[in-house]
Structure 1
């Protein structure tokens, strides 16, 4: 089996020595080429070339951003049964996609699980989401949470490490920058066949659960989201301190119940919907900030990608 290992050398939790050991282990079972990314979007370029060259498997060694880029490269012309499969060796700080698939969070253990899956012929077809023309694996967001991602990226560019504490501090600064209360937000939700819902402060879109992790704890805005269904949405038309803390507590809880209340807007297993705003707001997909947009249409695509698990 021909395989390409796409390595992000800036991955948070793997050293150069670890990457060499993992590549050697994979090469024992695969006809393996190794490519190292050098800039944002490079993993997408490498995955596109792998499709053209008839590679059977593309392995992403890095964080969720690296896996997202690989998926976008493979699916550049849409899903097809002839496309390479994808495998993940987690090397980032959060690794939501890998953990949602049930893979070990340790890269060495994940490599062992991958080799076992390859020898056993195990794979899974998973549904993905699209934000306009950009594929996403597990989540997207417009508004508040995307603003937090943008702030975190700015801090990382200044040399800060990606840690749960950095996200919490960034969220608190973003929340209290508006005085701690937002009575109405800029977003309007449009679902085909339904009346528009105005005034959303944020829209969190999930393709699976959890939405993210806070250290080792899963955070679930939409606990019923699944790779086997269409998309789920969690939105808020008002953000104030105590209600927001209650929603966050429920997201961090183990009850499996979604946050609810008079200011909560939710969708489950929805094939398509649009979030728009009069002025451009931040968009994130799989934890990467994609700039500001005035309107984004989200769509679920079933069985879009074959993953080795």
Structure 2
């Protein structure tokens, strides 16, 4: 019998929908156990232990931050051990990764997908020694998304980011930096930086709208500072429009690795988890693990252009 271990964010321990989904599948077809997190680092530790114990599938039940911890825990185990497949039950505020992948938001539907559909190989990305599955972002957008209170995000959605951006208006500035990658070099001041294995971050902002999880490449998007575009307009487009109005202004490139050097300390958000430094190297890890996705998930190469026709 297949062994599924769910790593559940502690705030969702009493989630009735999750409990009902586990009860239904546990009685029918799978051995399912649940481990609940208490503090930061628990999801990483529990995921590492699950791989060491030979669990077949590890499920991250929480937000994008929980998913990031689970991925890093799986990758931290002895690489000679068999890698479990990965599933996602989206229980966060934004659920950017799940939305882009078209993973169901309802716990029962998400768990049925994990139980019934085979995992497909996907890439992971790495920022120095830290793995991420979705996206790394830098620039003022990172400052805004990380400082927006969870309560405000739950109440107002994307408008919350805009309001936070307006309150921090006077402290927002461009970042001076240099980006190097194979056949690519860019230098200047940027407002937003996105390095995508996935497509969107910060509550629906599609910084890398064409990224695929299984192409062996990272999608780079840079929004340069523009004297013709006011800071207020930039904040408005990014926070309320999801960034689509600024896609024409983005400098983009698809690369296997890249290095960023900044003149000042650069704050970067990895799937909701902050890191900082003046020099960061990003690289892709092709086919690093198997992920349970819908058959027509748009983030797979075979489905590019297909979803729009369905």
Relative distance call for 1:15 and 1:177 in structure 2 (3 A) is farther
Aligned to 1:187, the other structure's residue is in SS state: strand
- In structure 1, what is the equivalent of residue 209 of structure 2? 223
- Once residues 267 and 160 of structure 1 are traced to their aligned partners in structure 2, the CA distance between those partners, rounded to angstroms, is 34
Say whether the 8 Å CA contact 2:201–2:271 is kept in structure 1.
Answer: no
Aligned to 1:20: 19
Matched, 1:3 2:4: yes
Between the aligned partners of 1:79 and 1:206, the Cα distance in structure 2 is 25
Higher helix share: 2
Does residue 63 (structure 1) correspond to residue 63 (structure 2)? The answer is yes
Offset of 1:231 from its aligned partner?
A: 0.8
Contact 2:90/2:98, CA 8 A, preserved across alignment: yes
For residue 307 of structure 1, what is the aligned residue in structure 2?
291
3-state SS, counterpart of residue 186 of structure 1: strand
Offset of residue 211 of structure 1: 4.1
Is residue 149–residue 289 contact of structure 1 (8 Å, CA) maintained in 2? no
Alpha-carbon distance in 2 for matches of 1:78, 1:145: 36
Displacement of 1:178 in angstroms is 4.2
Structure 1's 141 and 274: CA in aligned 2 closer, same or farther, altered over 3 A?
same
Question: 1:9 and 1:19 mapped to 2: Cα distance?
Answer: 12
Gaps of 5+ in 2: 294-310
Q: Does 1:52 align with 2:81?
A: no
Q: Secondary structure of the equivalent of 1:172?
A: helix
Q: How many matched pairs? A: 283
Distance of aligned partners of 1:63 and 1:302 in 2 relative to their CA distance in 1, 3 Å threshold: same
- Report the alpha carbon displacement of residue 147 of structure 1 after superposing the two structures with TM: 1.0
Partners of 1:15 and 1:171 in 2: CA distance: 34
- Contact 1:125–1:307 (8 Å) recurs in 2: yes
The corresponding residue for 1:165 is 159
Are residues 1:177 and 2:170 paired? yes
- Matched residues in 2 for 1:245 and 1:281: separation? 19
1:251 aligns with 2:243: yes
Report the TM-score when normalising by structure 2.
0.81
RMSD: 2.7
Q: Does 1:197 align with 2:187?
A: yes
After superposition, residues 128-139 of structure 1 pair within 5 angstroms as 128-139=124-135
Structure 2 CA distance for partners of 1:115 and 1:55, relative to 1, 3 Å: closer
**Aligned pair partner of 1:235 in 201, 210, 222:** 222
- TM-superposed CA distance for 1:134, in Å, is 1.1
- Residue of structure 2 in register with 1:144 after alignment: 140
Given that 1:187 and 1:202 are in contact with CA atoms closer than 8 Å, whether structure 2 keeps it comes out as no
Structure 2 Cα separation of the partners of residues 267 and 172 of structure 1: 30
